[in-house]
Amino acid sequence: MRRFSLLLLLVSLPLAAGCLFGERRRDLSPQDAALFLEKADERLRKEAESGGTDPFAAIAVFRNDVFLDQSESLLRSSLTVLNEMGNAAILLLRPNQVLPMLKDPSVRRLAWFGPQGRLARLDPSLELDLLARYGKGTEGSDAPFLARFRSVPGEAEERSVIAAGYRILFRGGPNMVVAGPWSGVPRLLEIEWVIYLEKGTGAEEEGIPGGKVTKEVPHSKESASDIKKRDAKEPPPSRGDVSIPFRSYPRGDNAAIPLQTAPGNGGSR
C-alpha cells in the first residue's frame, strides 16, 4: 500500500502543477482533430491543445482577398492583422482562437509562424514573398536565403540550420546562404543566433538557384570607335521622342518670368 500510495503521488504531481499554473490541455474531438489534419500543421495543433494564453503569429490563407473580402470579418473577430498580401495574412492569434478560425469556411489553411517578435528579423520583401507563396500554395518549393548571424557561425549553428531542413551553400563571415523550402522560414527564425533573414542571390556555380550573375557585360570589349562604326552600319531605331521647346529667361537672383503681351493693351510695363 505504501508503494502504491507513493506511485499515485508521483503521478499526481505533474497534474497538480499544471492546474496550479492554469495549464489545462484541451482534448480535441475526432471531428476537430480531422479539421486540424486538413487545414493546419502539427505545431499549430500542439499550440491549440496546450491551453496557453500567450499570443503568437500564424499565417492564414483565405479563399478570397484579405483586404477586399476578409477585413470586416477579421475586425469583428478582434483579430490583429500583422501583414497581408493577396489572399494570405499574418495574424496574431491565441491558442483558443485557432479552432474557431479553422471552422470558418473562408479559411483554407493555417500555419504556425512563431512569436511576434521574430517578424523583426525578417526582411519586409521576404515577408511579402512568403505570404505570396502561401497564397499560391507553393511554399514547399526551395529557394536561397541569406541568414545573418550574431557572429561567425560554427558547428553548432550549422547543425541548427541542417536540423531546420536547409542545406548550406555558402559561408562568408557572419553570413550564411542556405537553401530550403519557403515553409521552413519560421524554423530558421527559431535559431537564436540568426538576427536577420533575407532573400539570397548568387551564382549558378555556387549551386544557388534563382540568382544569376552575368559573366560579361554586353559590348564591354568594344571601344568608342567600334561602337560608332557599328551604329553607322546598323543605326538603332528611332525612339520617337519629341523635344520640349526651350525658353530662355533672364538670369539673376531676382529674375522674373516675362509677362505675356495681352492683345490690345499695348504690352505690359
| Domains of the chain, CATH where assigned | 29-123 (3.30.70), 140-207 (3.30.70.80)
Contacts of residue 96, defined as CB under 8 A and 6 or more positions apart, other chains included, come to 48
DSSP string, 115-178: -GGGGGGB-HHHHHHHHHHHHHT-TTSEEEEEEEESS---HHHHHHHHHTT-EEEEEETTEEEE
Q: How far apart are CA 16 and CA 21, in angstroms?
A: 9
Task: Quote the pLDDT of residue 76.
Answer: 86
* Whole-structure pTM value: 0.66
Task: Quote the pLDDT of residue 232.
Answer: 73
Grid coordinates belonging to 144:
536561397
> Tens-of-pLDDT digits for all 269 residues of the chain?
565 454 444 444 444 444 444 455 667 889 999 999 999 999 999 999 988 899 999 999 999 999 888 888 888 888 999 999 999 999 999 999 999 999 999 999 999 999 999 999 999 999 999 999 999 999 999 999 999 999 999 999 999 999 999 999 999 999 999 999 999 999 999 999 999 999 987 533 344 444 443 333 344 455 556 656 766 776 655 544 444 443 443 444 444 444 444 444 444 44
Give yes or no for a contact between 197 and 177, defined as CB atoms under 8 angstroms apart.
no
Task: Quote the pLDDT of residue 228.
Answer: 66
Contacts of residue 159, defined as CB under 8 A and 6 or more positions apart, other chains included, come to none
